[in-house]
Structure formats: structure tokens, C-alpha cells
Amino acid sequence: MKLPRALRIFPAMKTKASITIFLLVASTVAITSLTGAAAARSAVKDEDRYANCMDMADRSPDKGINLALAWIADGGGVPARHCEAYGLARLGEHAEAAARFLKIAEDMRIGRDMPIRMGKRIVASAPMLADMYGQAANAWLLADELVRAEDAIDLALTLAPKNTPQEYELVLDRARIAAADEDFQLALRDLDYVLKGDPGRKDILVLVAAAARGVGDYGRANQALEAFQAVFPNNASGYLELGNLRHAEADRKAARQAWLKVLLLEDQGPSADAARANIEKMDVQAADTPAG
């Protein structure tokens, strides 16, 4: 029985997606405060409008997209377009969202459709561009466009400052993409890089366990998973991986118990879906196996 790909974990796109444009809009507040109270009030209004649009896109993507489209028509530029792209991602239109994230990054690079402050169009910094390319990579991953995801994450990493939280998050994204492509060696190498730079990242030990399982290192997989569950004892993804690991070790009874525990912890979401699929596949396989 082939299990679902080990690191196919949905990226937290809301948090990441908000950072780049929020910093852009917030920076315009600081700039315009030097050029007059009216302009500063306008920039603050844009900041609030962006935050409201992103919040609506998260809660109700269709409504968020409608807000974004109205803002685009009102000259909202890149921040409004970013909210629209995020809304599309939340609707599951991952390929369309990824293409839009890339176009936004291209425009941010040269200042196209960006706010004008003190007579000049704002141009995004390298870290802002890295964040946007990272968002595109995540969306391509969710669209199963792995080659495009790899290209986008590699571009993001050329722009991110080394040994920073941003670089570590992007390297984690590359690990997820590599695992989705079943390149567990690269995934494990990237995860080790992050752990070396940020040893406190206990949350990624479940990913380490999955990647170690992928390369057949069950000893390290068990060690990483035990450390993860010591910190996150009721985490569904931890029990999903425990089931995957026990199944790889040919302990089907323990695998079933772990997957059933996932369903007790949460009945919806990617971990629950994977646990149900695993149990169903195992049951079918057992039914097809001749007795004796």
C-alpha cells in the first residue's frame, strides 16, 4: 500500500501572504507622514482596507475577492491584487493564484502598479520579493505543479537574507516541495539545515520523521516523532505520521490505532482525510489477501 506523500502539509498561506503587502502598505504610512496629513490619512486607510480585505478573503473567499475587485477598480494596485490572489488560493484555485503571485512579484520588482510616494513609485525590497515568490511556490505545490513550485522557491531563496527566519521558512517550503516530489534526501537535508540554524523548531520534527521514513531511516524517524509528540501530544499530524511509520514497519495494528486516533482528534482537514484513506486502503488490501 502506497501512503500519501509524507510532507504534503498545507502551507499556512494566510500568515505568510499578509506579511509582504502589509509591510509595503505600512511603509507608505511612514513615508507619507512626511508629506502631509491628508496623504498620511490616505495611506492609513489603505492599510486598514488591505487588512479588512485579507480577513474577509480568509473567512469568505468569494466576498474577499469581490472586495478586492472593487478596490482594484478604485486604483488599489498591488495590495488589492494580492488580496484577490489570496482569495483565489482560499477557493482552491491554486494554479491561478500562483500565476498571479508571480505577476505581482514581477510588478513589485519594477514598481509597476505600486503606490506613488513623494513623486516616486515604491519598489519592493529583496526580502519582500522573496516572500512573494515563496507564496507562489506554495500555491504551485498545492496545484501539484511541482516543477514550477521548485523554480519559484529557488528564486525566493536567491533573494532571502541568509540565516534569517525568512530563509528558514523558505527552506521549509523547499523541503515540502521536495517531499511531494518524493525526494526525501533533499527534504531531510533542508530540514536539518533549519534545525541547525534554529534548534528550537520542535514543530518541524514531524516533518523530519516523515522525511526520515521516506529514506528508510526508521530509527531517526521514531526519535524525531517521539520528540515531536512530547511537545505536541494531541497533534493530529503527529498521529498520522505515527500510523505511517508503524505501517512502514509492518505493524498494521498499531498503524490503524494511530490513524483512528487522528479521527478522534479531528474529523476534517488534510490529516483526517489522509487517515481515512489509509484505513480504507489497508482494509481493501486485507480483504484481497487470501486467508492462510
The mean predicted confidence, pLDDT, of the chain is 85
Q: How many CB atoms lie within 10 A of CB 46?
A: 22
Q: Looking at residue 63, what is its pLDDT?
A: 97
Amino acid at 197: G
In contact, 22 and 51? CB cutoff 8 Å? yes
Tell me the per-residue pLDDT of 76-135, one tens digit each, with 9 for 90 and over: 999 999 999 999 999 999 999 999 999 999 999 998 888 777 778 888 899 999 999 999
Task: Read off the pLDDT of residues 195-226 as tens digits, 9 standing for 90 and up.
Answer: 999 999 999 999 999 999 999 999 999 999 99
Q: Where are the domains of the chain?
A: 12-160
Inter-CA distances, 289 with 213, 243, 285, Å: 25, 21, 6
Q: What sign results for the dihedral spanned by CA atoms 108, 113, 118, 119? A: positive
On the question of pLDDT at 5 being above 60, the answer is no
Please write the tens of the pLDDT for every residue from 180-198: 999 999 999 999 999 999 9
The fold for domain 12-160 equals: 1.25.40
Range 273-283 average pLDDT: 91
Question: What pLDDT was estimated at residue 291?
Answer: 58
- Cα distances (Å, whole numbers) of residue 177 to 4, 144, 265: 14, 9, 27
